[in-house]
A and B are shown apart, each in its own frame.
Chain A
């Protein structure tokens, strides 16, 4: 077994910086394994979030060598181990301690988005008829594991800190899942334009690139939502057509 060097971000909101560690590397190990080894042997109080260790829960988001990643799905043998591996917390939210950031803003934002509001059931047992092809797109959005890596890379949040006026790519995906849900009857386009700040997105596609679930955030969620907003608010003819045609 070989040893590798790591620089792990330690400290709290007041003072923090990289601390050097060494860990034994075995075949197939992921970054989270190294963090756990360091925690168990050298830094018992190291703060890190994780749950599933299989890319399913979205807890272990961090920046590995400067790239937003799930630590449990980032293999050490895919990284250049001749130099130290840097591990930092996600940066779009305020720092708590070590690898943990305060992501509670995301939960508050979500609560403000109008909830699912279905049309009356098709059958007496309270169910609806839906074809697979009608739900494929929304199922793509519902793969989201709320890792918030897309939020981390979006410059509107990360660099411009517009947290009060912009809900971020994760929540556009969420809104799109509701808007394109075959049963939903709510209209969230006004909110998207006014309070959710969809206009701030300039389609850099950075969010799509980092999504571990490979959700095509920009092309499939954000752009169609922008089009709907434009239809509804700026183009009376298309709006009329949309009203005449079924919404979804």
Chain B
């Protein structure tokens, strides 16, 4: 018999980042009992690392902004593969969600007239990101955390869910281990909200932490939900490239929003060399105009450094491949140059970008107020994920909801900076609200001991044998996967490479099924890594399969063998990954429904 501690909730939220916390707050405000589980300590989720800001059309800095412009920007950035209903809800509700944070104690930077200040970011036509220097995520997660702990939510920190259970088609609970003693916990729940974040750990160079192993994606997949658009993995253009031990750590887009420029080894601002048609009329055609834009000139157009992330990342790769990169294989990002334009530039940079200043000073020995940084693309964000109903965030599995980065639809083929934090708030709230409603409308669930027993046995398997091939430890398999994914499923993809990747994944999966974790159950990182491998493999396979399916280069997905944006005679579609009846992964396509007429008019009007 499996040994476990049992907990019972109406709603269980898995994940305590912005989406999970917001969902938990909302569900408990609806009067149902709520449990919240997270792998790390409270307040350490990815959301804490977000730097640049939260996108919301508050129109505090430029009154020409409004939800319609935000909606049109989001759709354009996503190459119109977005779920338009989600894009609509997001643009309409984000301002209220930001104001609500202020009512819960958040202190955003201010405009001169005492309102929430907003900054420029790539792909947003107007200054739109509410922020606190470059530590916006910290402000957001702390506000939600400090508000949430007084809402009667039961928090289980350092507890990792490894599987969901079902009761005749409906989710019935989640099974996990607590890190400290390695003991099992079984959470019975009438509704479950997945808010587990992304999958960046499938790649070698990433801004993501050990937590991002795609757990929610895989929990949903095995429970019978669909994953959509998994091929769209965002490579953020500016990660640190040197020293090698910090490679991948994020350099916020805020640097470019504040006037930072990208140059190659010849000192050329190469972003002016390739401006996509879709953005030509919105983009500055000379350096002076670009600078004026960053300083708030309302008649200037934005500099090409603030084009969308997919495009900027590809331009950087081109410069490096053609031999015009920086010494450590990136390009230069220069904010120090603004000293030509302002007297007290060093103090200005330190005030606007304090954590970037600190990060480069301490980790790379570089003073960004005086010297350029070296940057290159880093795996950052999963646009793809669990398919949900746009209004309720429920998956096709009754009682199972998903929100935040592990959900999908809002961002289409490419996410705009700042649109994630707002996504967490808008759809975290909705998921909590609808999960509570589901609980009220549906009866109790029954747990099935057989399912629990099987999960428990599976989870203990890596610990069973304590003698094995020490060259094949969980970390080595993870590194193997990361290297391979980086090379074959990274920024530039091809049919040959992707097929190669799929057979590599099959091999790695085989190795991971027999992996051994040395030691006992107590806070055993090797054991945890061994169990995570299972999720990484499934996500890697889903990404590679979807990438193979999409025979085009659009948004964050680029195929060397299919450089065109569209496939001949094909309407816009989503890729769908689903677990087949035979247990194998299936890939299919589904046409995207026509945009509602009034929304289509907005797109055409705003352009």
Tell whether A116 pairs with B243 under 8 Å between CB atoms, given A45-B525, A54-B363: no
- Determine whether the beta carbon of A44 is less than 8 Å from that of B474: yes
- Determine whether the beta carbon of A128 is less than 8 Å from that of B249: no
A224, CB-defined interface residue at 8 Å:
no
A103, CB-defined interface residue at 8 Å:
yes
Chain A residues within an 8 Å CB radius of B155:
107
Interface-facing stretch out of B139-147, B293-301, B485-493, B499-507: B139-147
Interface-facing stretch out of B66-74, B108-116, B226-234, B309-317: B108-116
Chain A residues within an 8 Å CB radius of B104:
116
- Determine whether the beta carbon of A51 is less than 8 Å from that of B40: yes
Interface size counted on chain B using CB atoms at 8 A: 69
A223, CB-defined interface residue at 8 Å:
no
- Determine whether the beta carbon of A127 is less than 8 Å from that of B40: no
B287, CB-defined interface residue at 8 Å:
no
B358, CB-defined interface residue at 8 Å:
yes
Chain B residues within an 8 Å CB radius of A128:
102
- Determine whether the beta carbon of B355 is less than 8 Å from that of A115: no
Minimum CB–CB distance from A215 to chain B (whole Å) comes to 12
- Determine whether the beta carbon of A28 is less than 8 Å from that of B363: yes
Please measure, in the bound complex, the distance between the C-alpha atom of A57 and the C-alpha atom of B133, giving whole angstroms.
16
A155, CB-defined interface residue at 8 Å:
no
A4, CB-defined interface residue at 8 Å:
no
Tell whether A125 pairs with B99 under 8 Å between CB atoms, given A45-B517, A115-B146, A142-B107: yes
Binary flags per residue of B225-255, CB closer than 8 Å to A gives 1, else 0: 0000000000000000011111001100000
- Determine whether the beta carbon of B49 is less than 8 Å from that of A45: no
Binary flags per residue of A135-168, CB closer than 8 Å to B gives 1, else 0: 1001100110110000000000000000000000
B48, CB-defined interface residue at 8 Å:
yes
A226, CB-defined interface residue at 8 Å:
no
Q: Residue on B with the closest CB to A128?
A: B102
Please measure, in the bound complex, the distance between the C-alpha atom of A48 and the C-alpha atom of B528, giving whole angstroms.
12
Binary flags per residue of B491-533, CB closer than 8 Å to A gives 1, else 0: 0000000000000000000000000011110111111010000
Q: Show 27 A/B contacts (Cβ-Cβ < 8 Å), sorted by A.
A: A27-B243, A28-B244, A29-B245, A40-B479, A41-B475, A44-B529, A45-B518, A51-B45, A51-B211, A52-B48, A52-B209, A53-B209, A54-B49, A54-B246, A54-B249, A54-B359, A54-B363, A56-B355, A58-B44, A73-B362, A103-B41, A116-B146, A118-B103, A131-B110, A138-B107, A139-B132, A145-B138
Chain A residues within an 8 Å CB radius of B142:
142
B43, CB-defined interface residue at 8 Å:
yes
Minimum CB–CB distance from B537 to chain A (whole Å) comes to 18
Please measure, in the bound complex, the distance between the C-alpha atom of A75 and the C-alpha atom of B145, giving whole angstroms.
31
Interface-facing stretch out of A79-87, A94-102, A188-196: A94-102
A179, CB-defined interface residue at 8 Å:
no
- Determine whether the beta carbon of A127 is less than 8 Å from that of B102: yes
B588, CB-defined interface residue at 8 Å:
no
Task: Select one of A45, A104, A135, A139 contacting B519, CB under 8 A.
Answer: A45
Chain B residues within an 8 Å CB radius of A121:
103
B286, CB-defined interface residue at 8 Å:
no
Please measure, in the bound complex, the distance between the C-alpha atom of A138 and the C-alpha atom of B242, giving whole angstroms.
34
CB-CB contacts below 8 Å: A87-114 with B? 96-98, 100, 102-104, 107, 110-111
Minimum CB–CB distance from B462 to chain A (whole Å) comes to 10
- Determine whether the beta carbon of A49 is less than 8 Å from that of B209: no
- Determine whether the beta carbon of A49 is less than 8 Å from that of B41: yes
Determine which residue in A27, A73, A97 has the highest number of CB atoms from chain B within 10 A of its CB, and name it. A97
- Determine whether the beta carbon of B245 is less than 8 Å from that of A110: no
Interface size counted on chain A using CB atoms at 8 A: 61
- Would you list the 4 A-B pairs with minimal beta carbon distance, nearest first? A28-B243, A45-B519, A44-B526, A40-B475
Please measure, in the bound complex, the distance between the C-alpha atom of A126 and the C-alpha atom of B107, giving whole angstroms.
14
Chain A residues within an 8 Å CB radius of B250:
54
Q: Residue on B with the closest CB to A111?
A: B149
B596, CB-defined interface residue at 8 Å:
no
- Determine whether the beta carbon of A75 is less than 8 Å from that of B362: yes
- Determine whether the beta carbon of A130 is less than 8 Å from that of B523: no
Binary flags per residue of A26-56, CB closer than 8 Å to B gives 1, else 0: 1111100100000111001111111111111
Minimum CB–CB distance from A106 to chain B (whole Å) comes to 9
A132, CB-defined interface residue at 8 Å:
yes
Please measure, in the bound complex, the distance between the C-alpha atom of A80 and the C-alpha atom of B146, giving whole angstroms.
40
Please measure, in the bound complex, the distance between the C-alpha atom of A127 and the C-alpha atom of B362, giving whole angstroms.
38
Task: Select one of A12, A55, A111 contacting B359, CB under 8 A.
Answer: A55
Please measure, in the bound complex, the distance between the C-alpha atom of A75 and the C-alpha atom of B524, giving whole angstroms.
26
- Determine whether the beta carbon of A47 is less than 8 Å from that of B211: no
Task: Select one of A30, A44, A75, A139 contacting B475, CB under 8 A.
Answer: A44
- Determine whether the beta carbon of A55 is less than 8 Å from that of B362: yes
- Determine whether the beta carbon of B473 is less than 8 Å from that of A96: no
Minimum CB–CB distance from A3 to chain B (whole Å) comes to 16
Tell whether A52 pairs with B245 under 8 Å between CB atoms, given A96-B180, A97-B523, A142-B139: no
- Determine whether the beta carbon of A56 is less than 8 Å from that of B242: no
- Determine whether the beta carbon of A12 is less than 8 Å from that of B48: no
Please measure, in the bound complex, the distance between the C-alpha atom of A115 and the C-alpha atom of B103, giving whole angstroms.
12
Q: Residue on B with the closest CB to A78?
A: B362
- Determine whether the beta carbon of A26 is less than 8 Å from that of B245: yes
- Determine whether the beta carbon of A127 is less than 8 Å from that of B243: no
- Determine whether the beta carbon of A135 is less than 8 Å from that of B524: no
B94, CB-defined interface residue at 8 Å:
no
B455, CB-defined interface residue at 8 Å:
no
Task: Select one of B100, B138, B149 contacting A143, CB under 8 A.
Answer: B138
Determine which residue in A33, A47, A98 has the highest number of CB atoms from chain B within 10 A of its CB, and name it. A47
Please measure, in the bound complex, the distance between the C-alpha atom of A209 and the C-alpha atom of B474, giving whole angstroms.
39
Task: Select one of A12, A53, A59, A118 contacting B246, CB under 8 A.
Answer: A53
Minimum CB–CB distance from A223 to chain B (whole Å) comes to 22
Chain A residues within an 8 Å CB radius of B44:
51-52, 57-59
Q: Residue on A with the closest CB to B463?
A: A45
